[in-house]
């Protein structure tokens, strides 16, 4: 009597798990950016490029990678409350189609509560979207050993249904060869950040 042929159960299980993983990694879509559209990189010293030359900052490298103008609107030392105050002036000056928000690190260094940081970032994102402008969010890791970006970044991205990059800065800042000091990347680190943002924009359909 012939025995039933056993199916490769492990193979089906692996495929099922892969499908589940893919379903949980949905990147919100962005409108396609025209070649003439302006992007504003909005943030603090991480956006300014402290620790590297201006042309090595992540906005400058990102501009080269995606073939779009990326304005470097980073103010070293800025906290989220200050960013919220200057946001309207920046938007009025550059009329961007997309704003990449990377703020919160200085708040955490100054022991501002996570609830207040989240509230200020929510106001920044809402103010941008209320102007009909798209938003991408970058999570900043907490200044602690083996830390990651606080969960509220992912929560805000989910709340506003916007693309989010929450791992790259932690990865860069824990690699000795990609740092200029304990809290800033060097040219190599900023390039890695720019590459991650470019990949996210492609995944979201913006470029």
- The pTM of the full predicted model, rounded to 2 decimals, is 0.87
The pLDDT score that the predictor gives to residue 16 is: 41
Identify which has the larger pLDDT, 21 or 187.
187
pLDDT digits (tens, 9 = 90+) for 25-60: 589 999 999 999 999 999 999 999 999 999 999 999
Per DSSP bridges, beta strands 184-185 and 179-181 are antiparallel
Domains located in the chain, CATH noted: 33-204 (3.40.50.1110)
Long-range contacts of 124-128 (CB under 8 A, 24+ apart): 124/42, 124/80, 124/83, 124/84, 124/87, 125/101, 125/156, 125/160, 125/162, 126/160, 127/84, 127/87, 127/88, 128/87, 128/91, 128/99, 128/101
Residue with token string 């470019």: 198
pLDDT digits (tens, 9 = 90+) for 103-129: 999 999 999 999 999 999 999 999 999
Pairwise CA distance, residues 152 & 159, whole Å: 10
Question: H or E segment at 135?
Answer: strand 134-138
Conformational region of residue 39, where left means phi above 0, alpha means psi within -120 to 50, and beta covers everything else: beta
Lowest mean pLDDT among 9-13, 137-141, 146-150, 201-205: 9-13
Is residue 87's pLDDT more than 80? Answer: yes
Pairwise CA distance, residues 74 & 59, whole Å: 10
Is residue 6's pLDDT more than 70? Answer: no
Identify which has the larger pLDDT, 44 or 22.
44
Is residue 70's pLDDT more than 80? Answer: yes
């Amino acid at each position: 009597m012939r025995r039933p042929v056993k199916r490769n159960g492990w193979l089906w299980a692996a495929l099922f798990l892969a499908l589940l993983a893919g379903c949980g990694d949905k990147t919100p879509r962005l409108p396609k950016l025209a070649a003439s559209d302006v992007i504003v990189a909005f943030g603090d010293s991480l956006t300014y490029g402290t620790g590297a030359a201006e042309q090595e900052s992540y906005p400058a490298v990102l501009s080269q990678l995606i073939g779009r103008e990326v304005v470097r609107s980073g103010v070293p030392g800025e906290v989220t409350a200050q960013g919220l105050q200057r946001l309207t002036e920046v938007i009025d000056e550059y009329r961007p189609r997309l704003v990449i928000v990377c703020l919160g690190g200085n708040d955490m260094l100054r022991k501002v509560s996570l609830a207040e940081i989240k509230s200020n970032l929510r106001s920044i994102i809402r103010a941008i979207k209320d102007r009909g402008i798209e938003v991408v969010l970058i999570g900043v890791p907490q200044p602690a050993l083996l830390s990651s970006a606080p969960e509220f970044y992912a929560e805000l991205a989910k709340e506003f249904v916007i693309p989010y990059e929450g791992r790259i800065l932690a990865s860069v800042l824990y690699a000795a060869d990609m740092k200029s000091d304990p809290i800033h990347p060097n040219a190599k680190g900023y390039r890695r950040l720019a590459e991650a943002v470019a990949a996210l924009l492609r995944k979201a359909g913006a470029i």
